[in-house]
Amino acid sequence: MYKPKGGATMTQTNQLLERLKKEYAKILKDNLVGIYLHGSYVMGSYNEEVSDLDYIVVVKEPLKFSDKQRLMNVTIKRLWPLSPQKGLEFHVLLLEDTSHFTDPLPFDFHFSQMHLAEYASNPDKYIKSMHGKDPDLAAHITILNRYGQELIGAPIEEVFSEVPSADYWRSITADINDADQEILSQPMYIVLNLCRVLAYEQDNLVTSKLTGGEWGLRALPEKYHPIIQAALTKYTLASSKDPFDSIRATQLDQFARLMLKKIRLRQ
């Protein structure tokens, strides 16, 4: 039985993980190196109501079109009904790439809830076109190397090389480059991501959104605590009322600009 680090047992998620391991192994057979969990699930901040489940599948050889079709059929029909609120996100990577990291890292296949409509409208086109390089993988693999879990397969240290800190930095700052423009439409996401990035710059901490926000409460001036606490409350669903209703737009704008200046993305 699998448990998120620092969290309680969740029957539905455990069923999902067991089914994921069994069904993918059946399809990929000897080509499978392993399936590896990363993201909020392994960082103690997984919440089925607001999280997605992140994992990386590593294979020896590029997948055939038919194998990708079977993976997607299983993912949508067998796994999706058990998935958390934000669904599933996974990359299929080649062992030769994970063991010799380059940025941006190539991927053989990728899927997330964001691509669900595109896949549903034309599955064959999606499967044929979904490959390339993804700068987000620098952050994913950094977290995996520090906190990840093997669902099945070879140990993490035998599969993934270290990610240079400069590549991780580029990956996480890409999410907040436009924070001063996006904070009003995505306050929870932007506030917690700003805290996470500053925690890395100031204290070299690789954090989740949750632990990044908790760091912000300890490290940032008290006048910004209501904003950070609002983001944490919304993230953990601690209130049925939107905690940002009591936060003014000018406060959010000021917070974003201060954080970007501290992170040195603005002068």
DSSP 161: P
What pTM, to 2 d.p., does this model score? Answer: 0.92
pLDDT at 197: 97
Helix (H) or strand (E) holding 203: helix 187-203
Strands (E) across the chain are located at 32-38, 53-59, 88-94, 105-107, 109-111, 132-134, 149-153
Cα Rg for the chain, rounded, in angstroms?
A: 19
pLDDT at 240: 83
Q: What is the pLDDT along the chain (267 residues), one digit of tens a residue?
A: 334 443 334 589 999 999 999 999 999 999 999 999 999 999 988 888 888 999 999 999 999 999 999 999 999 999 999 999 899 999 999 999 999 999 999 999 999 999 999 999 999 999 999 999 999 999 999 999 999 999 999 999 999 999 999 999 999 999 999 999 999 999 999 999 999 999 999 999 999 999 999 999 999 999 999 999 999 999 998 788 999 999 999 999 999 999 999 998 764
Domain ranges of the chain: 11-164, 175-262
Q: From residue 136, give the alpha-carbon distance in Å to each of 144, 235, 252.
A: 12, 21, 26
- The two three-digit tokens of residue 145, written as one number: 């190397």
Phi-psi sector, 49: left (phi>0), alpha (psi -120 to 50), beta: alpha
